[in-house]
Amino acid sequence: MDVVLLSRLQFAAATIFHFLFVPLTIGLSTLVAYMETQYVRTGDETYLAMTKFWGKLFLINFAVGVVTGITLEFQFGTNWSGYSAYVGDVFGSLLAIEATAAFFLESTMIGVWVFGWRKLSKKAHATVMWLIAGASTLSAVWILIANGWMQHPVGFDIQNGRAELVSFLQVVLNKFGWMIFLHVIAGAFVLTAFFVMGISAFHLLKKQQVEFFTRSFKIALFTGFVAAVLVVVHGDFHAAHVAEVQPAKLAAMETLWETQPKAPVYLFSIPDEEKEANLIEIGKIPGLLSFLAFKNVDAEVRGLKEFPKEDRPPVFISSLAFKGMVGLGTYFIFITLVGLFVRNRLTEFPLFLKIIMFSIPLPYVANELGWILAEVGRQPWIVYGMMKTADAASPVDPVQVAISLAGFILVYGLLGAAGFYLMAQNAKKGPVPVEEEV
């Protein structure tokens, strides 16, 4: 393998692993803040126990996520020096703001929250948790604006052979970045909801702490249903924007080869990139892609053959990630809708609880598929229409990258195993009585 592919694999491994922890950090910090606020407002100590139990799982998840996130920024210098030299003026400013304004605030406030029990007033302590939730979300804002710029670059001029920032406001208000942000945040709350519901279902099946876990389940259930609907609704708006600025990605997502009006959606298809056709097409719905992209069933949608082969994204991976994400998104709405009907008699439906418990990994899969679609669908560009990935890699020895890739996988594997083991053990143990905790 050449250095470009090895560097891509290394960045993909780091990103995929890091993104296992980011959505739960965003979503669970908000739910814990809500639970602590309810405790302050009502004085109900069940909410205090919920704050401490789910807060402990949040802290474990955050710790592992931080370690894996730090290495990502280093890779821009070690593996992608061409990229850093060409667009560092724009991209670097966004990462710097994320690190100094958002991540610093988040980390500091977490320390205050952990050591602030009995040192701060109840209201101040709950406020700190809201600051953590806000900082987590703010961190996502800057990272996704940076990614949005890579998907749809704006606000720059090419001067002296590199991109120089001319409008910070235009970069910050980039529609693509905000589209990604809204989709990712909604997906984070879906993941968090299934995480909380799944652990609650485990204990409800064992009839343990029924009041505690029923209340936790219901909070997560309402959160999950609303977020799942928002993911689908927003996904529709985002797809329309992709059709406008990244038509090759849209065509790859839907395995559309020919430019045509009344472009169809296939419920299932397997593309053959060599033959520039689909091997299998099932469930053809004429005009649906035209409608989803342009809100007009007669609209013409550009097919993959409109683009040179070297400028097309990998079709099979893009379509598989997209169809998988859509299928899981539909499942999340359906199963949470069922949950709303049985929410007051949860222990009477053990099959439903088992389905929820075994569904914990599915939002993780959906979030990763979304990330894969965003990044693979942008190829062969690292900055869409401006700089190709092959031109961005550092001129380093492939053997060095291969060795570091193996090291990353080994270390991340151990970190991930330790993190998920700790979360599983604490989740299985259940809440500690408040008087023993403080």
Helix axes 45-78 and 81-97, enclosed angle (nearest 10): 150
HSE of 409, CA atoms in CB hemisphere, 13 A: 10
> Is the CB of residue 146 less than 8 Å from the CB of residue 184?
no
pLDDT of residue 438: 43
Instruction: Return the number of other C-beta atoms located less than 10 Å from residue 95's C-beta.
Output: 16
pLDDT of residue 51: 95
Q: Which helix (H) or strand (E) holds 249?
A: helix 247-253
Q: What are the residue ranges of helices labelled H in 19-80?
A: 22-42, 45-78
CA gap 164, 93 in Å, rounded: 11
243: Cβ contacts below 8 Å, ≥ 6 apart: 250, 293, 294, 301
Copy the structure tokens of residue 133.
């939730």
CA gap 53, 149 in Å, rounded: 38
Q: Which helix (H) or strand (E) holds 290?
A: helix 288-294
Strand 387-388 relative to strand 381-383, pairing: antiparallel
- What letter represents residue 173's amino acid? L
Return the SS3 of 195.
helix
Copy the structure tokens of residue 4.
């470009």
pLDDT of residue 435: 57
pLDDT of residue 243: 85
Taking only the tens of pLDDT, the chain with its 438 residues reads 788 888 888 888 888 888 888 899 999 999 999 999 999 999 999 999 999 999 999 999 988 887 777 777 778 778 888 888 888 888 888 888 877 777 888 888 899 999 988 889 999 999 999 999 998 898 888 888 988 988 999 888 888 888 888 888 998 899 988 989 999 999 999 999 999 999 999 999 998 889 999 999 999 999 999 999 999 888 888 888 888 888 999 999 989 999 999 999 888 888 988 888 999 888 888 888 898 888 888 889 999 999 998 889 999 999 999 999 999 999 999 999 999 999 889 889 999 999 999 999 999 999 999 999 989 988 999 999 888 988 888 888 888 888 888 988 898 888 888 888 998 999 998 887 655 544
CA gap 91, 80 in Å, rounded: 13
Looking at residue 21, the DSSP 8-state letter turns out to be: T
Alpha-carbon 251 to chain mean position: 23
Which of 96, 94, 111 is closest to 155 using CA atoms? Answer: 94
Instruction: Return the number of other C-beta atoms located less than 10 Å from residue 398's C-beta.
Output: 15
Q: Which helix (H) or strand (E) holds 244?
A: helix 210-245
> Is the CB of residue 23 less than 8 Å from the CB of residue 191?
yes
Q: What angle do CA 128, 130, 135 make, to 5 degrees?
A: 95
> Is the CB of residue 301 less than 8 Å from the CB of residue 259?
yes
Predicted structure pTM score? 0.90
What are the residue ranges spanned by the domains of the chain? 189-396
CA gap 186, 208 in Å, rounded: 30
pLDDT of residue 80: 84
Residue with structure tokens 């984070």? Answer: 188
Return the SS3 of 277.
strand
